[in-house]
Amino acid sequence: MTARATDVAALAEGVAAGERRALARAITLVESGRADHRAQALDLLARLRAEGSPARGRQALRLGLSGTPGVGKSTFIESFGLMLTGQGKRVAVLAVDPSSARSGGSILGDKTRMEQLSRDPLAFIRPSPSQAQMGGVARRTREAVALCEAAGFDLVLIETVGVGQSETVVAELCDLFLLLLAPAGGDELQGVKRGIMEMADLILVNKADGDLKPAALRTMADYAGALRLLRRRPQDPEGFPKAICVSAVEREGLAAAWDEMQALAAWRQAGGHWAARRAAQARHWFEEEVRQGLLAALAQEPARGMLERLGQAVTEGSLTPEAAAARLLDRLA
């Protein structure tokens, strides 16, 4: 894709009009690593934010959703998404895939996992792209979220698999963070790290159906107890964070879960916490972008060649790591 300025203007119009094909093209543009595409992507985002653009100021509810493989994330998104599109809401699903940074593969956001939702005209599902550093993943996802908001989606669901780093990225992108768990058997520890628990606004214990229902209820009670032990956060009304049961397969508890999310969102909007969180997130991403920008110099000449030559000297033992680093930093300064 090589878009001229006129094309970018047309693309911005298409996105603002909520056209799915334009949105898909726009996301491809922000995902591109090419310098000319990058310039076009920034131009596109600026146009959508510019005064006079119908997209300006549009906000979606950004829902982060994390859960380890096997908890039923795809089924939940399918059922939950269809419930919302059934109410006339427009739902976008994006994925932050931590594995793609390493393996180049894409395990999330697979449309075939959400067959009905992917064919729903009110839904937009974007598989996660392959390759890139976590810094790049964060920026791309952030910009994809902005494009979905500009396209007028009511809800943007940002899904990730529970492995730590990617959850931190998602937590810094969303308004509400949902943690999806499977029922735990007996004394079994699910190994949910405290840091992840502390990010959660709502814990959803899935598979509360059939034989697993008692276990789901017990797990919900365990987590409700654990959540009560956490320090109360200023952005939470009484009773939050909360643990509830759902069944994605039986499509039960989803409306109640949505009620909880809406109640929490409304409370945070009224109290100014919503805007404060978005402002803090914007600042976080500004600083992160600066850090990534500084480090990007290392992939360019002259740093790149020096890194290679000095790195070789360090490997051979003719320079210490500290001395080699000092020499490179001196030359870059």
Nearer to a copy of itself, 250 or 289 (CB): 289
DSSP 138: H
Stretch that binds a copy of itself, among 17-25, 41-49, 120-128, 219-227 (CB under 8 A): 41-49
Q: Hey, which residues between 224 and 243 contact a copy of itself (CB under 8 A)?
A: none
Q: Which residues pair with 91 in a beta bridge?
A: 123, 155
277 near a copy of itself, judged by CB under 8 A: no
Contacts of 102 (CB under 8 A, 6+ apart): none
Q: Which stretch binds a copy of itself (CB under 8 A): 16-24, 71-79, 199-207, 295-303?
A: 295-303
If the CB atoms of residues 17 and 282 are measured against a copy of itself, the closer one turns out to be 282
Q: Provide, rounded to whole angstroms, the least separation between the CB of residue 111 and a copy of itself.
A: 28
Among 15-23, 76-84, 241-249, 282-290, the segment contacting a copy of itself (CB under 8 A) = 282-290
Number of C-beta neighbours around residue 69 at 10 A: 12
- Residue 92 C-alpha from the chain's centroid: 12
| Cβ at position 196, least distance to a copy of itself in Å | 12
Question: Taking CB under 8 A as the rule, does residue 50 contact a copy of itself?
Answer: no
Which one of the spans 19-27, 74-82, 257-265, 280-288 is the region binding a copy of itself (CB under 8 A)?
280-288
Among 42, 221, 230, 270, binds a copy of itself (CB under 8 A): 42
70 binds a copy of itself (CB under 8 A): no
Residue 59 C-beta: closest distance to a copy of itself, Å: 12
Of 130, 97, 129, 136, the residue nearest 292 (C-alpha):
136
Closest CA to 87 of 262, 315, 223, 211: 262
When the beta carbons of 121 and 234 are compared against a copy of itself, the nearer one is 234
CA 15 to centroid of chain Cα atoms: 20
Q: Do the Cβ atoms of 270 and 232 come closer than 8 Å?
A: no
Out of 45, 95, 169, 265, point to the residue binding a copy of itself (CB under 8 A).
Answer: 45
Residue 51 is which amino acid? E
Number of H helices, E strands in the chain: 14, 7
107 near a copy of itself (CB under 8 A): no
CB 274 within 8 A of CB 265: yes
Q: Record the tokens describing residue 330, joined without a space.
A: 């001196």
Options 52, 112, 121, 189; binder of a copy of itself; rule CB under 8 A: 189
With respect to a copy of itself, which residue has the nearer C-beta, 255 or 295? 295
Instruction: Locate 43 and state its tokens.
Output: 């131009």
Shortest Å, Cβ 281 to a copy of itself? 9
Question: b/e map of 183-208 (b: 16 or more CB within 10 Å)?
Answer: bbeeeeeeebeeebbebbbbbbbbbb
CB atoms within 10 A of CB 320: 11
Which residues of the shown chain bind a copy of itself in the complex (CB under 8 A)?
42, 45-46, 49, 142, 164, 187-189, 191, 279-280, 282-283, 285-287, 289-291, 293-295, 297-298, 307, 310-311, 314-317, 320-326, 328-329, 332
